Amino acid sequence: MFRSRSSRYIPRKYYYLNYRIEAATLRVIDDQGKQVGVITRDEAIRTAQERGLDLVLIAPNAKPPVAKIIDFKKFLYQEQKKQQEAKKGIKKSTVKDIKLSLFIGPADFDRLVKKGLEFLKGGNQLRLNLTLRGREIVKKDMAFNLIKRYIGLLGEVNVSREPKIEGRMIRAVLAKKK
């Protein structure tokens, strides 16, 4: 089967079930979580089938390997739910851009300061971009002062990357102080 480049292949954990288990003897745990003991594979499979459940190899590298008698579909469902819960706790921090110009009006400047505060309160990082056009390149000190004034108006922020000139652009990266 061919996959397109845009689709993402996510490898899944493979579990050995019932007759796919190759070990001759297994340490078996029943569906209530109690240890049955070390028994043969065929005996463990028979016990699982009598209960209408599956024998699943949990720890293949143990001596002897550990298998559990469980409802496999229910087990997969619970594993999927655990993974979803783990993903919920992770918040992705994004970088928001704010573009400034050297001769910006005071009302626009104040609006951009408010927007920057909103971004930082949302848990995002903030990247300031100040582009110097034409003859503005000779007024680098004014540009650095403008960025420092912007950072000062934001209050308590962590400057991840100090203002630095890159060609005709001055960039700084800010984050909320923890």
pLDDT tens readout for residues 105-128: 999 999 999 999 988 888 888 999
Kindly list the strands in the beta sheet with 157-166, ordered across the sheet, starting from the edge strand earlier in the chain.
95-101, 125-131, 169-176, 157-166
Domain count along the chain: 2
CA 129 to chain CA centroid, Å, is 27
Instruction: Quote the pLDDT of residue 8.
Output: 61
1 band by pLDDT with thresholds 50, 70 and 90: very low
Alpha helices in 72-155 (DSSP H): 72-88, 106-121, 140-154
10 within domain boundaries: no
Considering the domain architecture, whether residues 61 and 105 belong to the same structural domain is answered as no
Q: Which CATH number belongs to the domain containing residue 76 in this structure?
A: 3.10.20.80
